[in-house]
Amino acid sequence: MTFFDSSTWDGRISSGGWVRGGGGSADVVEPATGNTIGSYGVGSTEDVSRAVEQGRAAQREWMALPYPERSAVFRRAGQLIDDNADVLSDWLVREAGSGRGKAAFEASLVSGEYFGATAVVEAPYGQLLRTHVPRLSMARRLPVGVVGVISPFNFPAILASRSVAPALAAGNAVVLKPDPRTAVSGGLFFAEVLREAGLPEGLFHVLPGGADLGFALVEHPDVRVISFTGSTAAGRKVGEAAGRLLKRAHLELGGNNALIVLDDVDVPAAVSAGAWGSFLHQGQICMTTGRHLVHESIYDEYVERLTATAAGIPVGNPATTEAPLGPVIDAGQRDRIHDLVTRSGEAGARITTGGTFDGLFYRPTVIADSGMSHPAFAEEVFGPVAPVAKFSTVEEAVALATQSDYGLALGILTRDVMRALDLAERIPSGIVHINDQTVDDEPTAPFGGVGASGTGSRFGGVEANIEAFTETQWVTMQGEIARYPF
């Protein structure tokens, strides 16, 4: 039997094995064609309760295992993903509408998360503290128990894995609710990987479903940490619910990221970077370059070259063509993109190319002469749209860049890197790339935003992952019972 054969999981959830979900089943729909290419099980609130109960029981035994045994699970999982990268990539292409290059890149990132999780297992889990009395004083990190993960559709494999892998590695059980539009590549595939890698049964559950299922996970009293990646609007609701219950919620939300192009750049190189930042995966990335801020001395050339580049990018079914851009995820997202583009044109911005679609295939779009009065510039589009604005001074560039509630990623293009570093200090952002566009991520690097983009860096690197998915406990030990005046 081939790895991840659909006959084992079709129409099922993963919760103590492949079982029927309490919510029935739903079709896996290929956005490029509208065809049904499989089915997945839909979880229910009762499934959430059973999964958490199983997770609590399994977590105690998991944490008691010697660390080399736990570490080996993640090495095997990483190797399984590498060995079956073509399987994962194919699902990313067909289910998420990913171009083949993007899908292959995502699959390589995912295996890195599981290999990297071994470092979380093997890392020091505490520190010795100074104390004013003759005793041993230490702080140690302990798993929280059960972690709830809610992940999105756009990069479904990596955005689930960067929470699932370190949370398990830190000694927890995990209940994952993937976006139902990418239930396979964002969830069920990893249930099979981890089962094959030897993860004990009951530790990892995949329950696809809607918002009701997500909030059942947030509300469950035995889920002590929520890791949510998604829209800012949904993230606010998750944060509010978690705060009321005094539980931690790590929120990685949206962005409207600026790319500042200073006057001393190589314009063709800058345009290449800007086009990649705006159009990769149809612009459906939280780090997408949502605003091109270009110095007036090169503005016209930049717009002309970016327009030509966008007009020349092929768009098509990534499963049957070599087109780098595929479909957006669904009609609702397409209509929202088109509404923002259309209203921006009506408000006076200049659409130099694109602004049209065929089915779910939206053409790469450039909107020149953009500003805060234009919806596609002021809001997160989550589509293949590149609004371009002009500035004359660095102060004006800073003002434009900070005219946003978001603070996820920032790109600065210039020959003077120290000038760029100084500029970056003036613009709140969780991520800054000097002489690169805004879309970048590595398993070993901290990832997260500020403001409406989330609650800071909670992903990437051993320290961040341990902090995210454990609790701190202070312990003192002394040889005799302490004596007191009464």
Nearest to 50 by CA among 22, 18, 24, 9: 22
Domain positions in the chain are 6-253+454-474, 257-434
Q: What pLDDT score was predicted for residue 444?
A: 86
257-434: CATH topology: Aldehyde Dehydrogenase; Chain A, domain 2 (3.40.309)
Decide the pairing of beta strands 450-451 and 136-143.
Answer: unpaired
Percent of the chain with pLDDT strictly greater than 90: 96
How far, in Å, CA of 254 to CA of 230, rounded? 7
- Exposure string of 185-197, with b = 16+ CB inside 10 Å and e = fewer, is bbbbbbbbbbbeb
Please say if the pLDDT value at position 57 is more than 80: yes
| Average pLDDT rounded to a whole number, residues 278-307 | 98
The catalytic residue among 30, 95, 192, 286 is 286
User: For the segment 410-456, what is each residue's pLDDT rounded down to a tens digit?
Assistant: 999 999 999 999 999 999 999 999 999 999 988 888 899 999 999 97
pLDDT tier at 2 (50, 70, 90 boundaries)?
Answer: confident
How far, in Å, CA of 288 to CA of 274, rounded? 10
286 in active site: yes
Percent of the chain with pLDDT strictly greater than 70: 100
Q: What pLDDT score was predicted for residue 443?
A: 85
Indicate the pTM of the whole model.
Answer: 0.95
Q: 450 pairs with which residues across the strands? A: 407
The catalytic residue among 252, 301, 346, 442 is 252
Q: What is the DSSP string of 114-141?
A: HHHHHHHHHS--EEEE--SSSSEEEEEE
pLDDT tier at 461 (50, 70, 90 boundaries)?
Answer: confident
pLDDT tier at 458 (50, 70, 90 boundaries)?
Answer: confident
CATH architecture of the domain with residue range 6-253+454-474: 3-Layer(aba) Sandwich (3.40)
